[in-house]
Structure 1
Amino acid sequence: MQLPVDGGRWASTGGRVTAHSARRWGWGSGRGDSGRSGAQAAKDAAANAFYELDSTQRDLRISIETIAAVDDSPAARTAVGDFAELGRRIDEASAAYIAAVDAHDLDRDDLTAAAADRARQELQQATNKLERVRADLDHFAHGLGSILQQAETQLARLAPAVERARQALLAAGNALDAVRDKGYRADDLAARLARLAPELTRLNEGAGVHGVQATVHRAVELQRTAEELRAQAEQLPRRAEEIDRRLGTLRTRAQALATRAERTAPVLSELRRRFAMACWEDLQPVPEQAARAVAEAEGRIREAAGARAEQRWADATALLATARALLNQTDEAITAAQERLRRLNEVQASHRGEVDRTRFAVRDAQRLAMAGRSTPDPRHARPLDEAMARLDRAVEDLGGRHPDYWHFLMELEAVRDTAARVVQAIREGLSTGH
């Protein structure tokens, strides 16, 4: 085989094949070249182990950063600490690999077999160290499991939650503009919406500044508040209509009660003329109290109308509630006087119906107390016996010259209440087996 002449190099060597020229043209073999190849293979294996460890560490760092941003639990803090410790071991293994590579130039012409073998051993040791750390890193990554899954789930909520909050705020602003266009000031709603601006600023700063959990929580709260504001803005016209309706209704009711209050005086006059003082004494203040309550209610209604005109909706609602309570109390007092006269008229004409109804209630309770027993339970028999005696005394008291019919009615009502309590106690005992 004739070799090409390279710039006279062949001639200058006198036709000899040097070690450099043999490697250059692929000549030569033996332990020197075998050692160099083994060292180069060890170098390639170490480089591959270094690359795989670095890739695994970078992927796992993303997972750890996700956990650190979302989870502040003891388990999460432990995972972050363990990863930092693994990072120190990775740095040590990487430093050993780099030192082994830098210590040996495998392309040197004068690389001896001993030097190549020493390079191969040190590079193999670096590879083993890299692979051990990577195995520990894989085991650590496998152990993250549920912590990482929970963190990723929480992180996945972030963007949708932020977007929902922004859309809710936009909807609240649009609803507020719409009612203002209809002539409603809605100053309180506007002020509440303006107070959300700092929270929106923090929301826009994002999880990088405030953390994922805090940002998700802020987004949820902003959405909830904004939706409440939007709903209240949309309901404002209906709220105004409802207040207008209640104003009209309460005005009419106040007028009607004022008329009824005036009719209470004749009722009391008849009670005083026909029945004992005990039957009507407690009703004496009713006309004056009713007139005063109606006047006060009318005052509250006028104040509510003023608040409505000024669009102070909460004040108008509160004033109307006060007026309604006053009118309810007045209605009950007037009705009580009229009902008193009716009941007294009935019992004066004949008390037999009240007595029979009350006696039946006691007898019915007694029959229930004896059901399945030869003797009643003293807890049931004693109050029923006392109730029956109380009924008899009430009937006897009607025999006087000026009977207190109202006391008679109250006594019979108390007797029926006693019978009802005994019946309830018996049924509760049956249901519990006692």
Structure 2
Amino acid sequence: MTATPGTSARQSYPPSSVARGRGGRSSLGDAVLLLGLPVLAVLAVPAAFAGGGTRRWFGGRAESQRADAQAAKDAAATAFYELDTAQRDLRISIETIAAVDDSPAARRAVADFEALGHRIDEVSRQYIQAVDAHDLDRDDLEAGTAARARAELTAAKDELVRVRQELDRFGGSLGPLLGKAETQLARLAPAVERARQSLLAASNALDAVRAGNLRADELAARLAALSPELTKLNQGAGQHGVQSTLERAERVQREAGAIRAEAERLPERAAEIDHRLVSLRTRAQALTTRAGQVEPVLSELRRRFAAACWQDLQRVPALAAENVRQAELKLREAQAARDAQRWPDATALLSTVRALLNATDDAVSAAGERLSRLNAVQKDPQAEIERTRFAIRDAQRLAMTGRTTPDPRHARPLDDAVARLERAVGTLEGRHPDYWHFLSETEAVRRAVARVVAQIREERGAGH
């Protein structure tokens, strides 16, 4: 507003001016008290107060109009100060919203408040002009002049009241925005404190790890990287904004918490790496022994079965030896990384060792399993044939359930499976059957049949 409490407008036009003369002259009541005269005596000699700097006594209509104008002036002053107080209170709410919320609704509220501020300035100017235009303390104030003053001051008061009502309605509409902003502000101090406590806990955890002769260089570097964030938190929301400070506090708390958790787990991680080093070293030694047993298995396969049954296994001994050699090399590197307390490097190297040993295990096992399966099918090929035919018949029964004729989408692949099985059986004729091809074909037939069964069940489940 243009004028505020304590400004010249209020000081120049006190509500009590209706009872006080110009230039500091005493009123009638003051004179009575000062001279100690009886009231009736004073009333009997009004001319005694005409001089000496006091206002002449006027009775009747002029004095009544003066009193009415003064009452209008006091009412306008009250409306002016009430509007000013309401605007000041609402400005605090707007500043709270603006500090926290950058949403379109918040920006619109700020703009609307500025527009109301212009309206308030305008009605305040009208009020002050009405006050300045009329000296209600003049001795020769005429009744008509006092009446005009009362009308103008009343109009100014009415405008002030109307704008105050607009301001109140606007303030009432800010409830959701203000509630959200106050909630954010209420979260601010606890969030910053939690971030500080998380940083302290992470630092203490690192100190405890170092006391156990374990380095945590990577974690210490991550903690040091949070130092600028802590500085910004200490600078406060006034410099960096409430929302940004909240997000920074939550980010610092989250990262510091992760550092603390990793630091507290570091002794366990070191022990786990030590255990894996021993375990994988033992496994590598065992696989070296098992790899030496592959060659005799291959010799038997070559002696008893067609070349197609074992040719793909020829490289297993060399592959196993190379994998074990690589695994032992990586184990030595992992041990060095562990000794240097390069935990991520040690963990990655141990994962590589495990993958190499798994591949070696699979290759070595494949040779033994091949010989076992070939022995079984050579002894009784009919068992494999019946197993596959049972799978086909079971699928055919499912395809016909609830139908008089099978669905071509199901019947065709099942018919193909029957034909493929018959061809596989035909390969067993001759002096040197390819039993491995036969086993591969029966497995492929069963997989095809299983796909048809899954398709039938899925379609019927969806239809049901």
CA distance in 1, matches of 2:367, 2:425: 24
What is the match of residue 18 of structure 1?
A: 49
What is the identity, as a one-letter code, of the residue corresponding to 1:309?
D
Alignment CA distance shift 1:404-1:377 (3 Å): same
1:375 match: secondary structure: coil
For residues 302-361 of structure 1, give each alpha carbon's deviation from its aligned partner in whole angstroms, at most 9, with x where no partner exists. 111111111111000000001101111111111111100111111111112111111111
Question: Counterpart of 1:358?
Answer: 388
| Local SS of the residue matching 2:214 | coil
Once residues 87 and 356 of structure 1 are traced to their aligned partners in structure 2, the CA distance between those partners, rounded to angstroms, is 94
What letter matches 1:330 in structure 2? T
CA–CA distance in 1 between the matches of 2:262 and 2:33?
Answer: 96
Q: How far 1:6 moved relative to its partner?
A: 5.3
Deviation (angstroms), 1:368? 1.0
Question: Structure 2 counterpart of 1:367, which letter?
Answer: R
Maintained 8 Å contact 2:320/2:364: yes
> What's the TM-score once normalised by structure 2's chain length?
0.87
Deviation at 1:123, TM superposition (A): 1.8
Maintained 8 Å contact 2:417/2:449: yes
Q: 1:207 to 1:5 in 2, by over 3 A?
A: closer
Q: 1:128 aligns with which of 158, 164, 167?
A: 158
Q: 2:120 maps to what in 1?
A: 90
Which residue of 258, 270, 274 maps to 1:244? 274
The structural deviation recorded for 1:151 is: 2.4
Alignment of 1:375-414 (within 5 A): 375-414=405-444
Rounded Cα–Cα distance in structure 2 between residues aligned with 1:163 and 1:21 = 72
Residue pair 2:68, 2:150 contacting (<8 A) in 1 also:
yes
Q: 2:205 aligns with which of 169, 175, 185?
A: 175
C-alpha change, 1:105 and 1:269, in structure 2 (3 Å) is same
Counterpart in 2 of 1:227?
Answer: 257
Q: Is the 8 A contact 1:93 1:126 kept in 2?
A: yes
1:417 to 423, 429, 447: 447
Deviation at 1:103, TM superposition (A): 3.5
Say whether 1:300 aligns with 2:333.
Answer: no
CA distance in 2, matches of 1:284, 1:377: 46
Is contact 2:236-2:245 (8 Å) kept? yes
**SS of 1:269 mapped into structure 2:** helix
Of 108, 111, 114, which aligns to 1:81? 111
Kindly indicate whether the alpha-carbon contact (under 8 Å) linking 1:22 and 1:28 is maintained by their aligned counterparts in 2.
no
- Displacement of 1:224 in angstroms is 0.9
Q: Is the 8 A contact 1:19 1:109 kept in 2?
A: no
Counterpart of 2:321, as a letter, is A
Compared CA separation, residues 270 and 203, structure 1 to 2 (3 A): same
Q: What residue in structure 2 maps to residue 104 of structure 1?
A: 134
- Name 1:150's counterpart in structure 2: 180
- Residue matched to 1:282: 312
The 3-state SS of whatever aligns with 2:174 is: helix
CA shift in 2, pair 1:132/1:19, >3 Å: farther
Distance, in Å, in 2 between the alignment partners of 1:20 and 1:103 is 28
Counterpart of 1:152 in structure 2: which amino acid? E
Q: Aligned to 2:319, what secondary structure does the other structure show?
A: helix
Residue of 167, 170, 178 corresponding to 1:140: 170
In the alignment, structure 2 segments of 5+ residues that lack a partner are: 1-31
SS at match of 2:64: helix
The offset of 1:155, in angstroms, is: 2.5
User: Aligned in 2, Cα 1:110/1:343: closer, same or farther, shift over 3 Å?
Assistant: same
Aligned identity (percent) is 67
2:196 maps to which of 166, 187, 201: 166
SS in 2 for 1:17: helix
Equivalent position amino acid for 1:170 in 2: L
Paired residue for 2:238, among 208, 217, 238? 208
Letter of the structure 1 residue corresponding to residue 62 of structure 2 = G
Hey, what does 2:143 align to over in structure 1?
113
Moved more, 350-359 or 71-80: 71-80
155-164 or 337-346: bigger deviation: 155-164
CA apart distance, 1:5: 8.9
- Counterparts of 1:260-279 in structure 2, within 5 Å, are 260-279=290-309
Q: Output the CA distance in 2 between the equivalents of 1:86 and 1:19.
A: 50
Name the amino acid aligned to 1:179.
V
Q: Is the 8 A contact 1:20 1:109 kept in 2?
A: no
Instruction: Note closer, same or farther for the CA distance 1:19–1:295 as it changes in structure 2 (3 Å cut).
Output: farther
Question: Contact between 2:55 and 2:139, CA under 8 Å: does it hold in 1?
Answer: no
Q: How many Å apart are 1:154 and its aligned residue?
A: 2.4
Given candidates 366, 369, 373, the residue that maps to 2:399 is 369
Q: How many Å separate the matches in 1 of 2:137 and 2:220?
A: 78
Distance 1:379 1:5 in 2: 122
* 2:220 counterpart of 1:195: no
Q: Distance in 1 between matches of 2:176 and 2:243?
A: 17
SS of the aligned residue for 2:136 comes to coil
Q: Which residue type is aligned with residue 304 of structure 2?
A: R
User: Which residue type is aligned with residue 77 of structure 1?
Assistant: R
- 1:243-278 per-residue CA deviation (whole Å, 9 max, x = no partner) reads 111111111111111111111111111111111110
Alpha carbons of 1:49 and 1:88: their partners in 2 closer, same or farther (altered >3 Å)? same
TM-score between both structures, scaled by the size of structure 1: 0.93
Partner of 2:16: none
Q: Tell me, in whole angstroms, the C-alpha distance in 1 between the residues paired with 2:214 and 2:54.
A: 94
The alpha-carbon distance between structure 1 residues 20 and 390, as it changes in their structure 2 partners (threshold 3 A), is farther
CA contact 2:62–2:143 (8 Å) conserved in 1: yes
Cα shift at 1:76: 1.7
